[in-house]
Structure 1
């Protein structure tokens, strides 16, 4: 009965004692979640050391690289244009992610083979598009850099890859399709493709960034966009459409290239953005500071050769026997002041000659 009552009271106390670590909750430090370290605090927005959000805008040229109606015709380039805006989140110093909006216009020309081409002449077309995508960003410079030259770096090489949705409008005109005043009347080839979940596209690319200031980055970016759509270039729906502009080449995806120049506006109160932060550089910088810091006060610069706990800098007895108790000056203690240190004195509290192990004459030594 008594044993059962004791256990019933003891077990809750024991479990509660195991849960205590000198603090009132897990949000206080040190505790079991901080490995005993006192220099730990919760990670909040106020404890961030660098910025990790930015807004980017840019624009440039756009040309078809692989399509039935090409941006390259008769030795000339029919340049189009494109622009983009994105919200960027840097996840680590080597990886970020962006929500990207792109729009632009692509210009093309082509000529059908045979009699159809003679009747139609050189066709001109354009494609206006809008795209929304998720874009991953790998900072190759931070991924590769592992040697610190003790100076800041301002250039970084980036790689991009992403997927998104697109909508587009196309228009194609030629001498045969645009006969409004003749019989039979013809109408131009047009497509109005709404943005939807069945209009996936993919993109990959690379770029370089320049850290112009703590607020702005300058970027040059080249992207290769795979539409996965044979009608994106303005040739009409499918290879069997009449006239058969989509049958000029055997490809099933109209792909194009964009080359852009843009700006990134870094958001936040900190001086450094996470994209320009290299942990190894920070570690080496801290080591360099420690190595070049002047020592204002050095403890035990000469060491403690006799291991008595008193530094040789102020030890008045540098050869204290091992095991002897010493005072603050490193001198072995002799409580009865008889010239025999307590380590060897058989009568610690009574003076005596050295010949009698520190005990008075005719007094046998006592065992300490």
Structure 2
């Protein structure tokens, strides 16, 4: 019987507790807020900072970890690259980019032994196109001291991402370029289209300068791990002939880029989220409050009778201790009989002072 009664009481409560969904979460106040706080939906109109930008840049590209690489015989074979990206700042410390890069690397190598004597120094180039998703960590905002009140215009960024690539390579040497003599040789040429199996990884760092509210300037270097032993033009796999891919032990041809770029910050707000540190701004406001001389001091003259009303506007500076007072510091006399409520034995009925504020025909206890 008791169990049935308990269930009869509990079920309606449980059902009600599960049916408290807000019909429209943009309606305030609701059961989750009384409306006393400044609560509103987060949308485009409530944004305080810019958070979109478009970045462009370019510079050098160098095949570094490869069988046929850009550093040969103490000399550097320069390549080039250019990029464009659409950037979204998620928070003041993290952002993401849709990134496109194209470029060309130039490289050289020489086979060991007799094959190298016959072929001489081989020259190769690789033209590539890459599409990737980049994550961006703002180390300056992440590591910045909150008690640093200075404005800052330099920021260190770290990048990491994954993407897909397509490339075209060509390698020539004295042995393979024999078109007129016998036997004729065909140069090593590879044309790799972008596909699901052509993914690569990249990491890097950049130093940004806040040139204006519209433009950032950045010096950026990226290291690209292709995961492909054919990217340098040495042929397919370690068993390729001629055996250029056997010169080095690695199976991934990796290169790096050094770029100078511009970021154009989009939006109407004064600041971009990448240049805002909320903790620093809070600390700055606290600092201003602590160091600003007050223009108006409340109760500068004190409260001599401790009635809660400052002496500056207290009309009764000697209110007895414990007496209730009005806004002007005057002791309350509810029945207006001249005896304040603290001493009045008949608070709601007027009476003479001699009878403690009670009628003459009433003897207070």
Task: Please confirm whether the aligned pair reaches a TM-score higher than 0.5, indicating the same fold.
Answer: yes
Deviations 1:202-229 (A, max 9, x none): 0001111000001100000011110001
Match in the other structure for 1:37? 36
The residue aligned with 1:94 is 93
Q: Which moved more, 1:201-210 or 1:317-326?
A: 317-326
Q: How far apart, in 2, do the equivalents of 1:232 and 1:186 lie?
A: 21
Distance (whole Å) between structure 2 residues aligned to residue 228 and residue 195 of structure 1 = 14
Tell me the SS of whatever aligns to 2:104: strand
Q: Which runs of no fewer than 5 residues in structure 2 stay unpaired?
A: 1-11
Residue 210 of structure 1 aligns with which residue?
209
Q: In structure 2, what is the Cα distance between the partners aligned to 1:92 and 1:162?
A: 18
For structure 1, which segment, 328-337 or 164-173, has the greater mean C-alpha deviation from structure 2 after superposition? Answer: 328-337
SS in 2 for 1:128: strand
Mean alpha-carbon deviation: is it higher for 315-324 or for 55-64?
A: 315-324
3-state DSSP class of the match of 1:65? strand
TM-score (structure 2 length as normaliser): 0.87
CA 1:192–1:279 in 2, change beyond 3 Å: closer, same or farther? same
Distance 1:181 1:358 in 2: 132
SS of 1:141 mapped into structure 2: helix
State the match for 1:326 in structure 2: 325
Written as runs of structure 1 = structure 2, the 5 A alignment for 1:20-59 is: 26-34=25-33, 36-59=35-58
Between Structure 1 and Structure 2, how many residues are aligned? 348
**RMSD, aligned CA:** 2.8
Q: Aligned with 2:118: secondary structure?
A: helix
Task: Give the whole-Å Cα distance in 2 for the aligned partners of 1:241 and 1:25.
Answer: 65
Could you tell me which residue of structure 2 aligns to residue 278 of structure 1? 277
- Matching of residue 350 in structure 1 with residue 351 in structure 2: yes
**Structure 2 residue matching 1:198: 3-state secondary structure:** coil
Match of 2:337? 336
**1:32-72 C-alpha deviation (Å, 9 max, x unpaired):** 23354342222221111111100000011111111101211
Distance in 1 separating the partners of 2:363 and 2:249: 113
Alignment-derived partner of residue 7 in structure 2: none
User: Where does the alignment leave 5 or more consecutive residues of structure 1 unmatched?
Assistant: 1-10
- Taking structure 1 as the reference length, the TM-score comes to 0.86
CA distance in 2, matches of 1:183, 1:347: 131
What are the equivalent positions in structure 2 for 1:60-79 lying under 5 Å apart? 60-79=59-78
The 3-state SS of whatever aligns with 2:41 is coil
Decide whether the 8 Å contact of 1:30 with 1:38 is kept in 2: no
CA distance in 2, matches of 1:55, 1:68: 36
Residue 5 of structure 1 corresponds to which residue in structure 2? none
Structure 1 range deviating more: 30-39 or 187-196: 30-39
Contact 1:347 1:365 in 2 (8 A): no
Q: Using a 3 Å threshold, how does the CA distance of structure 1 residues 63 and 333 change in structure 2: closer, same or farther?
A: closer
The structure-2 alpha-carbon separation of the partners of 1:328 and 1:117, relative to structure 1 and needing over 3 Å to count, comes to closer
Q: Which moved more, 1:147-156 or 1:316-325?
A: 316-325
Deviation at 1:248, TM superposition (A): 0.5
The answer to whether the 8 A contact 1:139-1:275 is kept is yes
CA contact (8 A) 1:57 1:263 kept: yes
Q: 2:172: which partner in 1?
A: 173
